[in-house]
């Protein structure tokens, strides 16, 4: 059975209503259709269907724009002619800001996500489903419609938010908080970790920084371990995914829409920016980090305190800031060390 959604959509709305809500304009040739045609949800270009509203604000996704099946798309006028036949452009100078306003209209409760029933009992909510052998320690809160599998343990002070699902033989550490999260079997989450809170999404301009509602989830697959005080943001529209067998150290930050493959190792103080994708068996050293919207290929290794700003090929080993092939980085460090020593000697001449 499909898991229930975490946020309820209050649509549908006509395209004209969405244009009014977002400050977009409907081209004259589509005005009649926009007054009656309804859209039921907001989705990405790649996922949207005829009943959905999408948005385009990054040239990197031009191919997705040209292939989208969306019924309508929030888009800058410069690109309005690039939408495919069957997609109505809603023209705006600020597509990302308009997208934020559209999400807020469809999902008003996303700005104030529910964790527990304020009028319910302290501890385990009556609607939660706990299989045999589940242990909930004193001070933990298990919210409405939570599902916890057999043999799992919820430590003191942990907060398990509404509709969260936890598999079998898991351990959720003290003072951990889980929201909008689906967890597989045999997962270990250490004390103080935070999963499923808002992603860091703002439409930023001179009018101020408009918060973008985040309606995705965090999906943690089987046999994952997440270190103390690490933070994993939920997706904006899609899910943030942690692949099977991945091990995450303490104090790691994983942004919204990140996809991490199977059996990766993410060492302490690493930061992975939104929409980055890691293949399987990737290793990221301590204090490393990535910019957003790049891919780290299967089997790649990123040295400690290194920061890729472009895609890293499968099997590559990179280091430095910006990260480059490990041997090149090593040679550069050696040359700098030699020049530094030589400069000191040269200073005594003349």
Give pLDDT tens digits for 283-297.
999 999 999 999 999
Q: Positive or negative, the Cα torsion across 249, 252, 256, 257?
A: negative
Give the pLDDT score at 114.
80
pLDDT band at 154 (very low <50, low <70, confident <90, very high): very high
Give the pLDDT score at 299.
98
| Contact call for residues 237 and 255 (beta carbons, < 8 A) | no
* Tens digits of residue pLDDT in 241-267: 999 999 999 999 999 999 999 999 999
Give the pLDDT score at 289.
98
pLDDT band at 350 (very low <50, low <70, confident <90, very high): very low
Bond before 334 cis per omega within 30 degrees:
no
180 is annotated as an active-site residue: no
| SS3 of residue 117 by DSSP | coil
Rounded to a whole number of angstroms, the distance between the first and last alpha carbons of the chain is: 81
The CA-CA-CA angle for residues 200, 205, 209, to 5°, reads 40
Give the pLDDT score at 343.
57
| SS3 of residue 36 by DSSP | helix
Is the pLDDT at 1 greater than 50? The verdict is no
What is the average pLDDT value for the chain, to the nearest integer?
94
The tokens describing 207, both together, are 């009018």
* Tens digits of residue pLDDT in 5-42: 898 899 899 999 999 999 999 999 999 989 999 999 99
Taking alpha carbons only, the member of 256, 186, 254 closest to residue 214 is 256
Q: Tell me how far the alpha carbon of residue 59 is from its chain's centroid.
A: 20
> What is the spatial distance between Cα 75 and Cα 22, in angstroms, rounded to a whole number?
11
Would you tell me how many other CB atoms lie within 10 Å of the CB of residue 206? Answer: 4
Is the pLDDT at 72 greater than 70? The verdict is yes
Which among 256, 263, 269, 293 is annotated as catalytic?
A: 256
> What is the spatial distance between Cα 264 and Cα 244, in angstroms, rounded to a whole number?
9
């Amino acid at each position: 059975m499909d898991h229930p959604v975490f946020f309820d959509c209050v649509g549908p709305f006509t395209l004209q209503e969405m244009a009014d809500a977002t400050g977009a304009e409907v081209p004259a040739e589509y005005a009649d259709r926009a007054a009656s045609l309804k859209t039921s949800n907001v989705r990405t270009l790649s996922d949207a269907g005829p009943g959905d509203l999408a948005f385009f604000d990054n040239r990197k996704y031009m191919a997705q724009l040209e292939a989208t099946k969306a019924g309508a798309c929030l888009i800058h006028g410069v690109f309005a002619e690039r939408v495919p036949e069957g997609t109505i452009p809603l023209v705006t100078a600020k597509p990302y800001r308009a997208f934020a306003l559209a999400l807020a209209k469809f999902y008003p409760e996303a700005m104030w996500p529910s964790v527990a029933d304020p009028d319910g009992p302290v501890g385990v909510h009556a609607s939660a489903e706990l299989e045999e052998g589940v242990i909930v320690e004193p001070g933990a809160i298990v919210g409405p419609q939570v599902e916890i599998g057999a043999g799992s343990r919820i430590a003191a002070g942990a907060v398990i938010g509404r509709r969260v699902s936890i598999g079998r033989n898991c351990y959720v550490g003290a003072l951990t908080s889980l929201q909008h999260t689906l967890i597989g079997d045999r997962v270990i989450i250490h004390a103080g970790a935070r999963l499923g809170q808002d992603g860091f999404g703002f439409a930023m301009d001179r009018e101020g920084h408009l918060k973008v509602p985040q309606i995705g989830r965090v999906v943690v697959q089987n046999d994952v371990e997440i270190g103390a005080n690490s933070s994993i943001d939920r997706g904006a529209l899609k899910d943030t995914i942690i692949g099977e067998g991945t091990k995450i150290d303490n104090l790691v930050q994983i942004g919204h829409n990140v996809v991490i493959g199977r059996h990766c190792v993410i060492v302490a103080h690493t930061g992975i920016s939104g929409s980055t994708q890691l293949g399987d068996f990737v290793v990221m050293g301590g204090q490393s980090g990535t910019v957003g919207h790049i891919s780290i290929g299967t089997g790649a290794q990123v040295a400690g305190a290194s920061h890729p700003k472009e895609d890293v090929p499968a099997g590559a080993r990179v280091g430095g800031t910006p990260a480059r092939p490990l041997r090149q980085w090593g040679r550069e460090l050696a040359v700098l060390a030699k020049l530094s020593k030589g400069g000191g000697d040269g200073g005594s001449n003349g």
